[in-house]
Structure 1
Amino acid sequence: MKTREIYAEMRCIPPVVLRADGRNFKNTLSGLGFEKPYDKTFARAMADTAELFIKKSGLSPLFAYTFSDEISFLFTDLPFDGRVEKIDTVVASFLGSALTIKLRLEEPIAFDSRLVALQKEEIPEYFHWRQLEAWRNFVAAWGYYTLRNKGAGKNEAAKCLRGKKEWEIHEMLFERGINLAALPAWQRRGIIISKEEWEIQGFNPESGKEEKSLRRKITQNWEIPKFKSEEGIPFLEKLINRK
């Protein structure tokens, strides 16, 4: 029977990104009072879930990037000998459990996940692609919910936005008093969760000397740059090349 297990021996080699997406979150989380189009409580829960995964899963991704209901983890070292089935299922189940706890939900929620095989030089392009998706979601969400809040029905709001370019939605919102560029960076660009190092100096009782040592902690960066900007390129490279 062991040989009947589908994809059980499919493996991948690092580096890879695992991307997890919330399954049917729109319906599952409706009625919980989250603000539209963005809710900081939900965003905080997603970032905290990614942080908990880095801390407690034992799988050691380099960092995580999250926006909306998705999280991407970069792995340069793979658990389970790179078994795709094992990695996908363990990560998705951990995230679903963690977010259920963080939001104190009475109903279970779920993630689906997939592995994205990359060459090292392709890693920045992947995260740039996801950040562009975060921006597209941001513009579309603000356009849609602004129209809804002005009294438009679901179909009317969707019809009004259909075929519109980003700059047209931007202009429409500006005419209604909303400047997208002034809204929080985490809504526009997403959030990075990573291990940060800092140096401390203290007395070592074993050597009897003052010595320097490194400490690590996990931080959440809610003010990240555009990944393809002058500031963003070295920012992302530092994350990717961290040991």
Structure 2
Amino acid sequence: MKGREIYSDLRCVPPVIVRVDGRNFRNALSRMEFEKPYDIRFASAMADAIELFFKNSGLSPVFAYVFSDEISFFFRELAFDGRIEKIDSVVPSFMSSALTMLLKPDEPLSFDSRIIPVHRQIVADYFIWRQAEAWRNCINSYAYYTLLSEGMKEEDAATFLRNRGTSDVHELLFSRGTNVAKVPTWQRRGIMIMKEEYEVEGFNPHLNEKTLSVRKKVVQNWDIPMFKSPDGELLIENLMSSGNRETI
């Protein structure tokens, strides 16, 4: 029967991006009475769950980008010899259990997963694309719940927005007193979780002198630049160039 495991030897070659998405989160989160369209408690739990992944999963993402219930992990090195079945099961299962532990919902939460093979030259393009989706999601979410607050039915609101461009939706919100360009940065651009270098002072008794060593810690950046800007391009380039063989 071992021969029936026909997908077990499918492998991918780094670098890759592993993107996980919440499965049916909308109903589960609605029952938890989170604020709409954004709740900082949920965003914090997502970021904290990713931080747990960095520290406790045994895998080594270089950085992660999250908005709403979508997370993109960038890997320069892969565990399990790149076995797709392993990566596509371990990553979302860890995130599912981590987020469930943090939020303590009445029902389990789950993620699905996909692997995107990339090369260095298109990594920035990928994250520019996802950040554009974060902005679109931000505008549409504010508009959707604004229309619901005015008495429109859910299906009608979704249909109305489906036929509108971003500029039209932005104008709709502005006419109702909401300037989406002024909402918190993390809602518009997402959040990054990454490793940051810091120095640790020690002492070498053999040389009888102080020493400095470099360590890395996991940090959350809630005020990231636009990835298509010079600052954003530099951020991604620096992250891709950073080493990732360190103790956290």
TM-score by length of 2: 0.94
Task: Indicate yes or no: 2:105 matched with 1:105.
Answer: yes
| Partner Cα separation in structure 2 for residue 179 and residue 201 of structure 1 | 47
What is the identity, as a one-letter code, of the residue corresponding to 1:98?
A
- The aligned runs of 1:51-130 (5 Å cut-off) are 51-130=51-130
For the 8 Å contact 2:32–2:105, the answer to whether it is kept is no
Segments of 5+ residues of structure 2 without an aligned counterpart are: 244-248
User: 1:180-219 alignment to 2 at 5 Å?
Assistant: 180-219=180-219
Alignment of 1:121-140 (within 5 A): 121-140=121-140
Calculate percent identity across the aligned residue pairs.
55
- CA deviation after TM superposition for structure 1 residue 213, in Å: 1.3
Matched residue of 2:30: which SS?
Answer: coil
| 3-state secondary structure, aligned to 1:231 | helix
Match of 1:149 in 2: 149
- Tell me which moved more, 25-34 or 188-197: 25-34
Residue matched to 2:4: 4
Report the CA distance between 1:241 and its aligned residue.
Answer: 1.2
User: Cα distance, 1:136 vs. partner?
Assistant: 1.0
Quick one: distance in 2 between partners of 1:106 and 1:59?
Answer: 29
In structure 2, give the amino acid aligned to 1:126.
Y
- Structure 2: how far apart are the matches of 1:133 and 1:6? 35
Residue 202 of structure 1 deviates from its aligned partner by: 4.2
Looking at structure 2, the residues matched to 206 and 226 of structure 1 have their Cα atoms a distance apart, in angstroms, of 49
The aligned length equals 243
Question: Shift of residue 185 of structure 1?
Answer: 0.6
Q: Which amino acid aligns with 1:96?
A: S
Tell me whether 1:165 sits opposite 2:165 in the alignment: yes
Q: Which residue of 2 aligns with 1:242?
A: 242
Q: Distance in 1 between matches of 2:65 and 2:187?
A: 13
Give the distance between the partners of 2:18 and 2:28, measured in 1 at CA: 23
- Aligned partners of 1:103 and 1:6: how far apart in 2? 37
Q: CA RMSD in A?
A: 1.2
Greater shift in the superposed pair: 164-173 or 205-214: 205-214
Structure 1: 5+ residue runs without aligned partners?
none
Aligned residues of 2:92 and 2:112 also touching (Cα < 8 A) = yes
**Which amino acid letter does the alignment assign opposite residue 228 of structure 1?**
K
Matching residue's letter, 1:223: D
- Decide which moves more: 178-187 or 147-156: 147-156
Alignment match, 2:246: none
Residue type of the alignment partner of 2:79: P
SS of 1:62's equivalent in the other structure is strand
**Equivalents in 1 of 2:38, 2:210: separation in Å?**
49
Task: Name which of structure 1's ranges 28-37 and 84-93 shifts more when overlaid on structure 2.
Answer: 28-37
Q: Give 3-state SS (helix, strand or coil) of 1:37's partner.
A: coil
Could you tell me which residue of structure 1 aligns to residue 17 of structure 2?
17
CA distance in 1, matches of 2:88, 2:155: 36
CA shift, 1:69, in A, is 0.6
Check the 8 A contact 2:15/2:117 in 1, yes or no.
yes
CA distance in 2, matches of 1:126, 1:62: 15
Q: 1:211 & 1:241 partners in 2: Cα distance?
A: 25
Partner SS for 1:114: strand
1:111 CA displacement: 0.7
Cα distance, 1:89 vs. partner?
0.4
